[in-house]
Structure 1
Amino acid sequence: MQEAFAHVGGLLATGLADLTDDPAALDSRGWWAVVVTYEGKVTCIRFSRVRPAPLPRAPWRPPGEWRSSLDRDGYVAGVQAIREAIADGIVYQANLCRVLSAPLPAGADIAGLGALLARGNPAPYAMTLRAPGVQIACASPELYLSRDGRVVESRPIKGTGRTRADLLPKDRAENVMIVDLVRNDLGRVAEIGSVQVPALCATEEHPGLVHLVSTVRARLRPGAGWPELIAATFPPGSVTGAPKSSALTLLEKLEPVPRGPYCGAVGWVDADARRGALAVGIRTFWAEEGLLKFGTGAGITWGSEPVREWRETELKAARLLEVAAGEGLGQREAARP
């Protein structure tokens, strides 16, 4: 079996020491890689050695033909169903997603894909992980939760375009709606009066895209740790909808396959330093049962135009799929060990 490792923020973690599905481990000791699927399956992996180092060199081969869990007609119908639910007062917003899958060629190593993403689509919360039952190459731009002692922060993204001019009033309204949801979620485990919004609807540029990003900050109440924090806020509000419980019920009916790590949480926790950062699992590839998978989606409101929302899912996926195919990087570079 290939050696397990995690690479994040220029650090390489090796020496698999523990693997558990109990998030309470994140408040114990050691350095952990963390993956939580959208459906709530928790994987915490402790590594014994963490040092500054590049990603392990590994080969990558482009995947086969991509297939989508929802085609254009199915996605458009889903958008229309969400708009009907909004009209009926069931939800205010919901994030409709689809999962792409393609055959994974023999010999393709997730570390090779992680290296391609680092060059072709650098991201603030990038992470590559290979461990028993988990193979992920993440290029997420979105912070789900960071923690420094008792101070926690979330930076939800809502609103995406190629340029600033593409961002619409609908995008700002959607962002504000999700900020309210995140404030309420954090308020369940925060000291009273500590929840703040230092930045609302700031514009951030990422490779090929611009986003509206807000920041929500709070201080954990005494006795609350990672298990309570995740339980209070998961799944991330930016990839579910509002009200969250109603959106989750609706999306379960509209999405034909599980999201897996997509829209879940991917990141690290240093239990000794009481620090950590978990990204929202977007712009994320994962290998599973001989397939490479990738998710994409869009937030749907009453003002959504169904075809435009489909195109937004294509826009979000396009650059990442090009990188995975080695396009623009040269086939020799894409395949090199």
Structure 2
Amino acid sequence: MYSHSFSKAQDLIRLLRWADLKFEHFALFEGNGSDLPEGSFDSLFFAGNKKIDAISALSFEKGADRVGIIGYDFKNHIENLQSKNPEFFPLPELCFFEPEISFRITENGIWSKKPVPDQTLNEILNFPIPEEGNTSCEIYLQITREEYLQRIKKIQHEILEGNTYEANFCQAFYGKFESWDPISAFLKLNQLSPMPFAGLFKAGRQWLVSASPERYLKKIGDRLIAQPIKGTIRRGKTPEEDEINQKLLLASEKERAENLMITDLTRNDLSRVSKTGSVKVEELFGIYPLPGVFQMISTVSSELRPKIALKEIIHATFPMGSMTGAPKISTMNIIEREESFRRGWFSGAFGWIDELGDFDFSVVIRSIIADLDTKKLYFGVGSAITIDASAEQEYEECALKAQAILELLRGN
């Protein structure tokens, strides 16, 4: 490893601005020092101009890193499913690139696997910092509150009919702008809501600005780790109120039932590619404080069977159960019927695959997806609908999850 002196606050901005000028693709991953089981994202930066074609994106090539997004609609290549809802703008279902430069970022410096020319480092460290760009825009709800409540009733009817036990129903907010700066937006959002799986991704003129709290899947050697989130409650205004809310979430039969269903689904997904008897629930119903919310997180691990390819792992586990519901296939059909937008990158996965085939991917939630050519952006919020769910309370939960992004986009 090669170390280079680095002042994180200012030099990170220089690095992002420099990379935006030099590269078609870049990705920043930021864990914000979160104390979660199995860790959060490492603080990493990748940039490159070589886009990886869809066929090769999920194949393993020893010695080559890959970075990118698996869009939710990739489900249609795994199962006999369709996505016919209107899209805000077209997005590739697999969007990966091969990095030319990569850095591990610390408070005191950046570390690179390969030597970086002095000229490149000087360019980065002396790159001028522009004025902060615009991060606000007009925001619209795609469906009304009344429409939302009606669709929850339809989903609960599907539950009564036995077609699903739990469905993750999502609604979308969308925005239009003349100019919008994704780099400034990420830096602001990461201050407002410093999450364990934060990230910024550029693919030409399309961007992901993410403050995700959730890991989809991590691989270290032969070990797989999944950490589904189901269960959310607002943080308190005082330590005493915090403690009360934490206990309320842990004691909620509804939230525990939602979490248990998705944990069981995750166990089943991992078992398809893992050694018999190796799938373990490391923690069930863990309650963790995050910015603005407590989340109920369960951790499931397993040991891969020999000679299981990356593509097989993704096909066995994607989309993540926390964003579909259970059982997966029939529930995804219900979601498609009741939602009003094509999810695109939202509720997909964002991460990197290293040269050994290890990887770490987040769930694309609490995230803005923007297209600078069409001058549009959108983000989705959702929650798990069960037979016991109150439609009004689910609507309020969505509003809580959207709070930080709305604050950013409205310039509050």
Q: Same fold (TM over 0.5)?
A: yes
Shift of 1:15: 2.7
Cα distance in structure 1, aligned partners of 2:29 and 2:247? 33
Structure 1 residue 279: Cα displacement: 0.5
Letter in 2 for 1:207: P
Aligned to 1:19: 52
Q: Distance in 2 between matches of 1:179 and 1:133?
A: 37
Runs (4+) of structure 1 exceeding 6 A deviation are: none
TM-score, normalized by length of structure 2?
Answer: 0.75
For 2:246, the equivalent position in structure 1 comes to 164
Residue 39 (str. 1) matches residue 60 (str. 2): no
Offset, 1:64: 2.2
Give distance in 1, aligned partners of 2:61 and 2:216. 18
* Structure-2 residue corresponding to 1:331: none
Answer yes or no: is the 8 Å Cα contact 1:202–1:214 preserved in 2.
yes
Of the structure 1 ranges 294-303 and 158-167, higher mean CA displacement relative to structure 2 is found in: 158-167
Q: What do the CA deviations read for 1:203-249 (whole angstroms, capped 9, x no partner)?
A: 01111101100001011111212211111111110010111111001
For 2:258, the equivalent position in structure 1 comes to 174
Tell me the equivalent position of 2:115: none
TM-score (ref. length: structure 1) = 0.91
Question: Who is 1:274 aligned against?
Answer: 357
In 1, Cα distance between equivalents of 2:59 and 2:182: 26
Asked whether the 8 Å contact 1:15–1:48 carries over to 2, the reply is yes
Q: Deviations over 1:134-172 (max 9, x none)?
A: 310111110100011121110000011103255221001
Pair member with larger Rg: 2
Give the letter aligned to residue 357 of structure 2: R
Identity percentage over the alignment? 32
Matches within 5 A, 1:248-259: 248-259=332-343
More strand by proportion, 1 or 2?
Answer: 1
Query: Per-residue deviation at 1:50?
Result: 0.4
Picking from 60, 75, 86, the partner of 2:148 is 75
Distance 1:268 1:99 in 2: 27
Separation in structure 2 between the aligned mates of residue 182 and residue 52 of structure 1, nearest angstrom = 30
Query: What residue number does 1:286 align with?
Result: 369
- Cα distance in 2, alignment partners of residues 204 and 19 from structure 1: 36
For residue 138 of structure 2, give the secondary structure of its aligned residue in structure 1: coil
Root-mean-square deviation over aligned CA pairs: 1.9
1:198 offset after TM fit, Å?
A: 0.4
Cα distance, 1:27 vs. partner? 4.4
Q: How does 1:126-275 map to 2 (within 5 A)?
A: 126-132=198-204, 134-162=206-234, 163-167=245-249, 168-270=252-354, 272-275=355-358
Distance 1:61 1:317 in 2: 20
The whole-number CA distance in structure 2 between the counterparts of 1:26 and 1:139 is 28
Report whether the alignment pairs 1:8 with 2:60.
Answer: no
Measure, in 1, the Cα distance between the counterparts of 2:60 and 2:341.
Answer: 29
Answering whether residue 383 of structure 2 is matched by residue 298 of structure 1, we say yes
Structure 2 residue runs of 5 or longer lacking an equivalent are: 1-19, 31-42, 75-92, 111-123, 235-244
Q: C-alpha offsets along residues 151-195 of structure 1, whole Å, 9 cap, x if unaligned?
A: 111000001110325522100110000000011111111111111
**Change in 2 beyond 3 A, CA 1:111/1:25:** farther
Alpha carbons of 1:52 and 1:307: their partners in 2 closer, same or farther (altered >3 Å)?
same
Q: How far did residue 117 of structure 1 move?
A: 1.9
Return 5+ residue gaps in structure 1 as ranges.
Answer: 328-337
The separation in 1 between residues aligned to 2:281 and 2:46, in whole angstroms, is 33
